[in-house]
Amino acid sequence: MKSRIHGGTKGATTPATTLGLAIAACLIAVSPRAMADGGIVRFSETQFGREVTVMTPPQLTAGEPTPFEVFVQRSDSDPITVNADVVLNFIPERVSVPERTPEFCGPKGNTTGISPQKAPAIFSVVALPHRGMPPASYDAPVTFPAAGQWRLDVQVMEHNATMVTSGRLTVSEAIGGWKLVYPFIVCPLVAVALFIANQWLRMGKFALPRQEIRTKSGMPRRRSLISNESKL
Amino acid sequence: MQTYGQLGLSWIWIGWGNAAAIGITGLLYTRGWICLHQLLPEKYSRLRLAAFLSGLTVLWLALAPALESLSALLLSVHMVQHLLLLVVAPPLLFLGSPELPLLRGLPRSLAHDGIAPFLRFAEAKKITAFLQRPLLCWLAFVGTLIAWHIPIAFDLALHSTGWHHFEHACFLTSALLFWGPVVRGSEHRPGDSGWILPVYLLAADLVNTALSALLTFSDRVLYPPYATVPRLFGTTPLTDQTAAGVIMWVPGSLFFLGPAFVIALRQASTPGILALPASANLPVAPRRRPADQHSRYGVKKIDLLQWPILGAVLQTGRLRRTLQIVLGLLAMVVVADGFLGPKTAGSSLACVLPWTYWRFFAVLGLVVAGNLSCMVCPFTLPRELGRSARGSRRPWPRALRTKWAAVGLLLLFVWAYETFSLWNLPAATAVLVIAYFSASYLVGRFFEGASFCRYLCPIGQFQFIGSLVSPLEVKVRRPDACLVCTTRDCIRGNDHAAGCEMGLHLPVKQGNMDCTMCLSCVRACPHENIGLFFGAPGRDLVQDGRRSSAGRWWSRSDIVALSLVFVFAAFANAAAMAAPVMQWRDQITVSLGLSSTMAVTTAFFLASLVLLPAALITGSVAAGFALAHLKRSFTEIARRLSLALIPLGLAMWTSHLLLHFIVGWNSLEIVLCRLARFAGIQSPGSLTLSAPFLDPAALLRCQVLLLGLGLLGSLYIGWRVVRDRSKSFGQICRFVAPWSLVCTGLYFAGIWIFLQPMYTGMTL
C-alpha cells in the first residue's frame, strides 16, 4: 500500500481513504440518538399564562417505546418552567386490540382464534424533566398498546394551579416482524458477501503462496505422545 | 425546585452509543499510533494524535444528545451542528493521517487477512483515485451543501429520522472527500499546481457565503417547522434564522479562508515543515516470533489460570466443590418442592429453577466461557459417593464406549420433554432429578472412571457439543515439556490430585469434547504446564487432528449424530412451542381421529431429528459433489459439514432459552414470595412482579442477532472445511453453495419461529 501521506510517490493513491469513509459512515449508522430533530409539534395551547407544547416523533407506532416531549413555558416568552408536575393521560377513542393470553408471548402477542378481542384501558405516564442541558422539557417514553385513535390529555400542575390541554394522536399498527428485524438479517448477508469477496481476492488474482493462506489442518502429529497415550 | 444548573451537565452521560463507537475508533488509532510513533516519531508526532482525537471529540459533540435536542428547536444550533460535521471534524481527522494508525491498530489477523486483500485490489485503487479528484470532491461538497439547504430537503430531514441520518451521512462523507485533497496537498512540497488549493477553498467559501447571506438577510422564515416549535431564550424564528446565517457566514468562512491563507503563504515561501521526503519508506514493524503460547500472528494467548486471584481460586478446586454442594442442596430443594409444593409450574421451585434459570445460564456459560455447567455439576457428588463405596469396579463395557447410548438418551429426553411437558410438571421434574442422582451413583458404584458423564449423561453430551464453540479450552502451555514428561500425572493422577476423570491425555487433547473443566489435570501436573486459554470460538471444528480419546471426528459417526441431534433439536424444540405448529399438530390429531397428540408429536420429532437432518446433509453434500466434481471422501466431508452446523445450533438454543429467561425471570419472585409466606416472614397480599428488562422488540432483535452470528460461524467453518480440500475458488463456491442453502434455510426457519407467538406454559 503506497500513499502520498505516508511518503510514497506523489501520484500514488491511498485506498485507505475508503476505509476512513467507511468508518465515518459506520459512526453515523450506529448512532442511536441521532434522531432528535425528527420530532414534530403535535399540539400547543395557552392557559393561565402558560403555553404547553407537545412534541413527538413523526410516526407513532403501537408496541414500540416512543419519546414524548412536553414544553411548558410562560406565554410572555420567559424561560421555560422546569418545576411543574406533568402527567400524560392516554385515552383510547377508536382502538381495538387482541389481548395477550398469559401463556403466549412473542412479537405478535396473539394467535389467531385463541385469544379474545378487547379494547385497551386508559393509561397515564408521568413526564419527568429532561436530563439534558437547557432548555429543559418534560420527557416520557410511551408504549401504545394498540393502534388507532387516541386522545392525549396533558395535565400540568404548578403552584396549586392545574391546566389540562388535549390533542388527538393517530397510532399506526405495530411494525411487522420481518420489518422489525430486517437490518439484523441484512447484516449477516452483507458479511457473507464481504467474506466471499475477500476470499476471491485472496485466492484469485492477489493470492499469496498456497502455504501462506492455508492453515495446517489438524494438529501436528506427535507420534511419540500418541503412542504414549495408547500405553496408558 | 429543579434549576438549569442542576440539569446542566448530565447530557454528557447520555449518548453512550456514539461514545462507544468513537471511543473504539480512538483506541484503535492510539494503538496503531503508539507503534508507528516508535518507528517514525517525526512523521507520527503527538500533534497527529491530538488532531485525530480532537476530530473524534468534535464528531461526538456534533452527534451528542445536547446538540441534537436543541437543533430541533433552534436553527442556529442546527447550523453549529452542521458546521462541526462539515468543516471542523473532517480536517482534524485527516490531520491525524489516520490510514496507517487505524490499520496498525486493528488485530493483525483482521488487517492482514480481512482488509489487506481489499486494499491490494486494483479496481478499488482506481475507484479511490477517482474519488480523490479535486473537481469531483469540490462538486460533491458544494452540491451537498446547496441541496440540503433547499427548504424542501431541510424540512424532510426535520420530519424524518431516516432522512436526518442520511443528511448527516451526506455532510460527513462529502466533507471527508472535500478536505482530503486540502490536507494532503498542504503537507507536501508546493509545486506548480500548489495554487489550486487556495482557489479550491475560496470557491467553496463563495458558495457558503451566498447561502449564509440568504439566511441572514431573508425577511421570512425559510424553514417553516422552526416557526411552530416552542421559542427559547426570547428569540423569534426570524432572529434565530439570522443568527444561523451569521454563524454559517463568519465562523464558517474562517474555516475556508484560514487554510487558504496558510497554503498560499507556504506556496509563496518555503516548503511545509510537515513534508516528508518522497523516499521515506513505510514503517515495517518487527514480526514477533510465534511461540507455543502465541497465536499465528504472534499475539500471546490469554491464560485464565495465570490471572492473579481468579487463577488461584480455580486451581485450588474449592470453588468448584463449594458450588457443587450449593447446587446439590438446591437440587434437593427442587425435589422436595416438586413433590410437596404446588402443582402450578409458575409457582414451583421445581420448574422455575431448572427450566427457566439453570438451562439459560448453562447455555450462556457455553457461549461466553466454556463448559461451566459440567464444572459445577451436582450430579458428580453421588458418582463420587458410589466410587467411595467398597467393592470392585469394572471398566465400562467396550461395546458401549461410544456416544450412541447418549444420542439415544438425548433423543428420548427431547421427545419426553415436549410430549409430557416436563417443564410444566413439578413432580416429573423431581423424579427426573432423582433418576439422575440414582443413575450417577449406580454407574459410579459399579464402573470405573467417569463413565456416566462420558457415555450416558444427555446433559453432559449437550454441553460437550456446545462447548466446541466455546472460547475457553484446557490445554498445555508448552508442548515440548510434555515430550520429556515420564510420569503423565495429568491422566494418571498422583498423591496430590486425581488425573483426568474423562481419560483425556492433555498433550494430545484438542478441543473441549469430553472435557468437564474439572481442572484435575491442572492440579496433578507436576510441571505446572496446563492452562485455561482463550481462543477463537469454533476453532475445534475447523481443525481435524487426532484427538485424545476421540480420534478423528470424521471417523466418529456417533459424535456426528450427536451434533446433528443437538442442532436440529434446537429448532424442533422451539418450533414445538410456536402457535402455528401447535395448531397443525392439533388439527392433524383431530383429522386422524386420535385421542392424544403423542403420536403426532413423536412423528414430528422423528422427522425433524432423524429424517430431516439425514436428508438435508446427504442431499446438500451430494449436490455439492455433483456441482464441483470434488475427488474426496463423501463420508468425511458430509460428517465434517454436519459438525460445522454446531454454531448455528448453539445460537438457536441460546436465543430460545433467552426468550424463556426474559419472559419468566420474575417467576422466582412468585416462588420466593410463596416460600416467605410459608415461613411466616411475609403476610399474604397482592404481589407486583418486576417488569421484563427487555421489551419484545429488543428481545426479538437479540434473538435474530444471535442467530446471525451462529449462521456466520457455521458458514465460515463449512467454508474452511471445503477450502482445505479444494483446488480453486470456483470449486469451493460450487461445493459449498447447496450446504449454505441448508444453513440459510435453518437460519430463516429460526427467525420465523421467533416471529410466532410462543407457548410458554404456566412457567412463563
> Which residues in chain B are closer than 8 Å to A229, comparing Cβ atoms?
491, 505, 507-508, 548
- H-helix or E-strand spanning residue B242: helix B237-268
Residues contacting B17, CB < 8 A, separation 6+: A30, A31, A32, A33
Confidence of residue A46 (pLDDT cuts 50, 70, 90): confident
Answer yes or no: do A19 and B115 touch at CB < 8 A: yes
- H-helix or E-strand spanning residue B451: helix B451-451
| Residues A34, B63 contacting (CB under 8 angstroms) | yes
| Residues B263, B197 contacting (CB under 8 angstroms) | yes
Could you say which of A39, A105, A107 has the minimum Cβ distance to residue B755?
Answer: A107
pLDDT, tens only, B263-296: 888 777 754 433 434 434 444 444 444 445 555 5
Q: Is the pLDDT of residue A43 over 50?
A: yes
DSSP chain A: ---TTTT--TT---THHHHHHHHHHHHHHT-SSTTGGG-EEEEEEEETTEEEEEEE-S--BTTSEEEEEEEEEETTSPPBP-S-EEEEEEEEEEE-EEPPPTTEESSS---TTTSPEEPPPPEEEEEEE-SSSSSP-EEEEEE-SS-EEEEEEEEEEETTEEEEEEEEEEEBPPPPHHHHHHHHHHHHHHHHHHHHHHHHHHHTTTPPPHHHHSPPSSPPP-HHHHHHHHH-
pLDDT, tens only, B7-59: 333 344 445 666 778 888 899 999 989 988 888 888 888 999 999 999 998 88
| Cβ–Cβ contact B119 with A under 8 A | yes
pLDDT, tens only, A111-165: 333 334 455 678 888 888 765 555 567 888 888 888 888 888 888 888 778 888 8
> Which residues in chain A are closer than 8 Å to B351, comparing Cβ atoms?
none
Mean pLDDT, all residues of chain B:
83
Instruction: Return residues 503-522 of B near A (CB < 8 Å).
Output: 505, 507-508, 510
Report the alpha-carbon distance of residue B113 to residue B249 in Å, rounded.
47
Question: How high is the pLDDT of residue B682?
Answer: 62
| Cβ–Cβ contact B12 with A under 8 A | no
| Cβ–Cβ contact B26 with A under 8 A | no
pLDDT, tens only, B533-572: 988 888 888 887 777 777 787 788 999 999 999 999 999 9
Calculate how close chain A gets to B267, using CA atoms only, in Å: 17
> Which residues in chain A are closer than 8 Å to B117, comparing Cβ atoms?
198, 201-202, 206
| Cβ–Cβ contact B64 with A under 8 A | yes
Substitution target in B7, B347, B540 with the highest count of A β-carbons within 10 Å is: B7
- pTM here is 0.75
Report the alpha-carbon distance of residue B230 to residue A71 in Å, rounded.
7
pLDDT, tens only, B446-494: 998 888 999 999 999 999 999 999 999 998 998 888 888 888 888 888 8
Long-range contacts of A183-188 (CB under 8 A, 24+ apart): A184/B701, A184/B704, A184/B705, A184/B708, A185/B704, A185/B708, A185/B751, A187/B708, A188/B708, A188/B709, A188/B711, A188/B712, A188/B747
A42 φ/ψ angles, rounded to the nearest 5 degrees? -85, -50
| Residues A24, B178 contacting (CB under 8 angstroms) | no
Return the C-alpha cell found at B544.
481435524
Question: How high is the pLDDT of residue B580?
Answer: 87
- H-helix or E-strand spanning residue B187: none
CB atoms within 10 A of CB B150: 11
Query: Quick check: helix, strand or coil at residue B473?
Result: strand
> Which residues in chain A are closer than 8 Å to B499, comparing Cβ atoms?
none
Question: How high is the pLDDT of residue B183?
Answer: 81
Answer yes or no: do B102 and A23 touch at CB < 8 A: yes
DSSP state of B272: -
- Name the amino acid, one letter, at B170: C
Please report, for residues A57, A195, B561, B699, the alpha-carbon distance to residue B705 in angstroms, rounded to integers and kept in the order given: 26, 18, 27, 10
Answer yes or no: do A20 and B102 touch at CB < 8 A: yes
Alpha-helical regions (H) of B508-665: 520-524, 539-542, 557-575, 579-591, 598-606, 612-628, 634-643, 646-664
Substitution target in A186, A229, A230 with the highest count of B β-carbons within 10 Å is: A229
Answer yes or no: do B700 and A206 touch at CB < 8 A: no
Q: Is the pLDDT of residue A24 over 60?
A: no
Answer yes or no: do B579 and A114 touch at CB < 8 A: yes
Report the alpha-carbon distance of residue B625 to residue B615 in Å, rounded.
15
How many percent of chain B have pLDDT more than 90?
Answer: 30
**With a cut of 50, which residues of chain B have pLDDT below it?**
1-14, 271-291, 297, 762-764
In terms of average pLDDT, the best of A13-22, A59-68, B1-10, B147-156 is B147-156
Could you say which of B131, B510, B708 has the minimum Cβ distance to residue A184?
Answer: B708
Q: Is the pLDDT of residue A21 over 70?
A: no
Answer yes or no: do B128 and A15 touch at CB < 8 A: yes
Long-range contacts of B383-390 (CB under 8 A, 24+ apart): B383/B440, B383/B441, B383/B443, B383/B444, B383/B450, B383/B452, B383/B453, B384/B444, B385/B441, B385/B444, B386/B440, B386/B441, B386/B442, B386/B443, B386/B444, B386/B445, B386/B446, B387/B444, B387/B445, B389/B445
Question: How high is the pLDDT of residue A132?
Answer: 55
Question: How high is the pLDDT of residue B191?
Answer: 54
| Cβ–Cβ contact B157 with A under 8 A | yes
Answer yes or no: do B169 and A28 touch at CB < 8 A: yes
Answer yes or no: do A24 and B176 touch at CB < 8 A: yes
Answer yes or no: do B729 and A65 touch at CB < 8 A: no
Please report, for residues A134, B53, B69, B316, the alpha-carbon distance to residue B19 in angstroms, rounded to integers and kept in the order given: 21, 12, 17, 41
E-strand stretches of B277-388: none
Of A230 and A189, more confident:
A189
